[in-house]
Amino acid sequence: MDFVEVVRKRRMVRHFKPDPFARESLERILDLARRAPSAGYTQGQSFLVVTVPERRRAVAEACDESFEVELYGYPWISEAPVQILACTSEAAYRFGHRDPEELPQDGSEIQWPVPYWYFDLGCSVMLILLAAVNEGLAAGYARVIDVPRLRELLGIPEDVIPVGVIPIGYPDRDVPSPSLRRGRKPASEVIHWERW
Ligand SMILES: Cc1cc2nc3c(=O)[nH]c(=O)nc-3n(C[C@H](O)[C@H](O)[C@H](O)COP(=O)(O)O)c2cc1C
């Protein structure tokens, strides 16, 4: 699919058909996620794929799916055949493997101007969302609420932060988010040329 078409077609979908999709599609999506940029090439992003229905339901509970069902009418986090948990590691950025000359000489942790572990994960998430569209699929995004529960359920290490869940599958007719009523801001409001 043409890049512009993929970008324009992407939207957060909140209702999925139960039909599974090809394993090769999932592998292509995950491979593209690894191609995101990362500060200092730290590559603190990681991805946990969940497909077993009972486990998907438990993941969805950790995202407070009942609230989403009230809002959108469907259990869209658990009903999609695949969930990708988008994870990051602050520790990898502060203490991760680096060339000795990159580390502060006094043994302190590396200081970053903004939390790049979240920035880099956002880059990967966008690639996943676009790659899903490119495969003829759809994806959504839900924030994780109960991190300790997810850690216990899926054996996620303490230094890894599960940030969000991306359900992927074939789209079904859903209810548009009420936030969309705000409309897309005009270019003149968000793009500044030469001076603000
Ligand atoms: C960081 C982030 C967190 C989000 N969390 C949720 C969420 O928990 N539940 C949800 O339904 N949508 C969530 N969204 C989706 C946004 O509501 C959605 O991207 C926005 O309304 C624009 O719609 P579009 O992506 O379909 O263009 C989130 C998006 C981002 C970027």
- pLDDT for res 99: 72
Cα 132 to ligand 1 centre (Å):
16
Per the DSSP assignment, residues forming a β-bridge with 28 are none
CATH code for residues 3-172: 3.40.109.10
Distances (CA, A) of 158 to 86, 90, 136: 15, 11, 35
3 state SS of 142: strand
10-residue averages of pLDDT along the chain (196 residues): 95 97 98 96 97 98 97 97 98 80 74 93 98 98 97 97 98 94 96 97
**Token pair listed for 195:** 């001076």
Ligand 1 interacting residues, C-beta cut-off 6 A: 11-12, 14, 141-143, 177, 179-180
Cα 10 to ligand 1 centre (Å):
12
Q: Which amino acid is at 167?
A: P
Cα 140 to ligand 1 centre (Å):
8
Closest CA to 169 of 8, 13, 65, 6: 13
- pLDDT for res 97: 66
CA 125 to ligand 1: nearest atom: 31
- pLDDT for res 163: 98
Residue with the nearest Cα to atom 10 of ligand 1?
A: 142
- pLDDT for res 46: 98
Maximum Cα–Cα distance across the chain: 57
Cα 154 to ligand 1 centre (Å):
24
* Separation CA 47–CA 165 (nearest Å): 10
**Hey, where are the domains in the chain?**
3-172
* Separation CA 76–CA 90 (nearest Å): 29
Contacts of 71 (CB under 8 A, 6+ apart): 178
